[in-house]
Each structure stands twice: as structure tokens, then as C-alpha cells.
Amino acid sequence: MQDVLLDVQDLVVHFRVYGGYLKVLDGVTLQVRSQERVGLVGETGCGKTTTMKTIMGILPQPPGVIRGGRIFFRGQNVLAMRPQELERLRRSGISMIFQDPTAALNPVFTIGEQLEDAIRYALGRTDHASIRERAIETLRSVALPDPLRILESYPVQLSGGMRQRVCIALALASPKELLIADEPGTSLDVTIQDQILRLIHRLAEDRKMAVILISHSLGVIREWTERVYVMYAGTIVEEAVTQELFAQPLHPYTKALIACVPKLTGEGIAEGIPGRIPDYFEPPSGCRFHPRCPYALDICRKEKPKLFAVCENHRVACFLFGEENR
């Protein structure tokens, strides 16, 4: 792949808990090219946020333990970076919008205090007036009215939508090449969520950023991304160009996921996927989806399927496809 910005290979992350490990990520592989909009879809708790935190070097360790894999950003090995290099990476390379804006904002500092700190350190500025100016500018860029008042406000004084915009402003206080948006606007109502996604899209275009959009909503993924990774229980099970994935889902999990979405045409009601996300303490052997899979073969219980390229734009990790996997 040419012009690869972010390259994650076989990432394995466990969490230390009392009496053992939660084996959360089990070989996550994904790539993002510059200025590309990539989607990552999967049920709640499948390890999307953990993957992203690991990429940014902000996974709390302990309890997190990186057991294997490689992460390259612009060809540099992120996992081998020293703390200062990681800080530089987060100031000019990657940034992240957290899932819950209320939890991501420090409750005891004003927005101004937090935003100005982000600007001060990311841009290495010391002049207070210019920092202030930049802060106001950043708030304007995320379409927040009355920036001066917002700078003086505490998170508790803002609405959910405003907090979400503030989080975007914080993430984009300095120019970045990759923006990770972790379920933006999920906690808000649908119209505001749409505005937020529109805003992220516009900012990405203006600033020539790549975006990883995490969501559990297929509608959102379909509308706003070019390429999709489907994640199940800590593994990537399918990867395709967005249109291709929706037109021809291959992995049984993806199929079930798409079947879950209620259709406007009104044919039938949505089906659920039987079973639940597996226990990460003792995950299923082989393919982690096999206990819920209607087509499970013997081999699925024994071996873990690798991603297999069905065609140029479509890869799937399932023994139902590809001779060499069988």
C-alpha cells in the first residue's frame, strides 16, 4: 500500500486483572493512508477504544500490557518511542476525540484553561495574548458561538453538544495528520450527532487530515467513510471499501450486523445476533466468533483465521473463504 500514514500489525493487548489477564486485543491489523477516511465498526466492548488508545500511547499501563504487534506512524515505530517522542507525536501527528465528552473534559478547569494549555504545549507558544487568540480562533473553527464566554465556562455549564465541540477543538488545537474520532456524538441526539459528523468531515477536508471514525452504527459508517474495518472481540474480521462491504458482506458477523439494521423498506424486523460478546478472561479458541456463528466448522474451533484478500478491495478473516485458509 502506498502513502501509508498509520500501519498497525497484529496488535495484542491484555489487561491485568485479579487472577489473570483479560485478552482484549487478539491481533488487530489496520492501515490508514493519508487523508483517508476509515471506519471501524463493532459492538460495544470489542476493543475499538483500546486499539486507539494504544496507537496514541495513552493506554494506561498497568493494567494494560502490550503483548505483541507493531504500530508505525509515518514509518516510525510508535511502540518504541520514548515519552518525549510520544508527546511530540500527539502534538503534531495524531489526536483523538474521546467517546464521552463529559468524561473527557476535566471538570475542575475552565475550557479556556484546558484549551490554552493544549495550545501552549502543542505549538510551543509562550505569549499569552497569542495563545488566547488562537484559542478563540479554534473555538470559532468548531462553530461555537460566543467563544469568549465559553473560554470562561466550566464543562458543567455547557450543553452536551457544546462539550463535544470543545473536545474537537482541544484535539485540533494544533494541526494534525490523523484524527481518531471515537463514536462522536453518540451520547447526543441524532440531529446534533449529524452536525458533529459534518463538522469533523469538513475539518478533515480543510486541514487535509486522515480520520478514523469509530462507531457501532452502520449508518454513520456508510455515510462518512471510504473504507471500513469490522472488529469482533479484539480482532479485525473484515476489511473493505465501504460500498463493497455493504453491497457484499462476507464474514458471518458482518452479515449479521447488517441484518440487524432495521430497513426503511419495512421488510421484516431487525434480527439480533444470538449470543453475546465472549468473556475475555477465557476467550473461545480458534475464531472468537465461532460460538455465535451459524456456519462454524471444526477448524474454526481450533485455528484462528487470517485476513485473506478475496479481491483487491476486500479482505476477510474466515475459513469459509480462501483455499489457503482451510
Partner 1 sequence: MHFSRYIVRRLGYSIFVLIGLSIVVFIIARLVPGDPARAALGPRATQEAVEALRAKLHLDKPIYVQYFFWLRSVFQGDFGESLYTRRPVVEDIKEFLPATLELALFAGLFMAVFGLLLGIVSARYANTWVDNCIRVLAYIGIATPAFVVAIILILLFGMYYEVFPTIGRLSPGIAAPPRFTGLMTLDSLLSGNWRAFFDALKHLFLPALSLSLGGLFQEARITRASMLENAKRDFVSAARAYGIPERVVVSKYLFKPSIIPTVSILGLDFASLIGNAFLVELLFNWPGLSRYGINVMLRKDIEAIVAVVMVLGVVFTVVNILVDLVVAYLDPRIRLVERGE
Ramachandran assignment for 240, one of left (phi > 0), alpha (psi -120 to 50 degrees), beta (any other): beta
Q: Which is nearer to partner 1, 91 or 315 (CB)?
A: 91
Q: Does 96 bind partner 1 (CB under 8 A)?
A: yes
Q: Does 90 bind partner 1 (CB under 8 A)?
A: yes
Each residue 28-67 as x (binds partner 1 by CB under 8 A) or -, in order, gives -------------------------x--xxx-x-------
Q: For residue 8, which amino acid is it?
A: V
H-state helical runs in 208-251: 218-224, 242-247
Exactly one of 167, 211, 245, 257 binds partner 1 (CB under 8 A); that residue is: 167
> CB of residue 88 vs partner 1: minimum separation in angstroms?
8
> CB of residue 54 vs partner 1: minimum separation in angstroms?
11
Q: Which is nearer to partner 1, 53 or 227 (CB)?
A: 53
Each residue 113-142 as x (binds partner 1 by CB under 8 A) or -, in order, gives -x--xx--xx--------------------
Q: Does 209 bind partner 1 (CB under 8 A)?
A: no
- Residue labelled with grid coordinates 465556562: 153
> CB of residue 64 vs partner 1: minimum separation in angstroms?
11
Exactly one of 6, 171, 196, 204 binds partner 1 (CB under 8 A); that residue is: 171
> CB of residue 2 vs partner 1: minimum separation in angstroms?
28
> CB of residue 313 vs partner 1: minimum separation in angstroms?
31
Exactly one of 109, 132, 246, 297 binds partner 1 (CB under 8 A); that residue is: 109
The Cα 154–Cα 109 span in angstroms is 6
Query: Where does this chain touch partner 1 (CB under 8 A) — which range of 83-91, 132-140, 262-270, 311-319?
Result: 83-91
What residues have CB less than 8 Å from 97, skipping those under 6 apart? 104, 164, 167, 168, 171, 179, 180, 181, 182, 184, 200
What residues have CB less than 8 Å from 324, skipping those under 6 apart? 308
Q: Which is nearer to partner 1, 166 or 296 (CB)?
A: 166
The Cα 52–Cα 39 span in angstroms is 12
Closest CA to 176 of 6, 1, 2, 8: 6
The Cα 111–Cα 152 span in angstroms is 7
Determine phi and psi for 275, rounding to 5 degrees: 85, 180
The Cα 84–Cα 60 span in angstroms is 17
Q: For residue 288, which amino acid is it?
A: R
Task: Count residues near partner 1 (CB under 8 A).
Answer: 36
Q: Which is nearer to partner 1, 106 or 191 (CB)?
A: 106
Q: What angle do CA 93, 71, 173 make, to 5 degrees?
A: 15
Q: Which residues bind partner 1 (CB under 8 A)?
A: 53, 56-58, 60, 83, 87-88, 90-92, 95-96, 98-100, 103-109, 114, 117-118, 121-122, 154, 156-157, 167, 170-171, 173-174
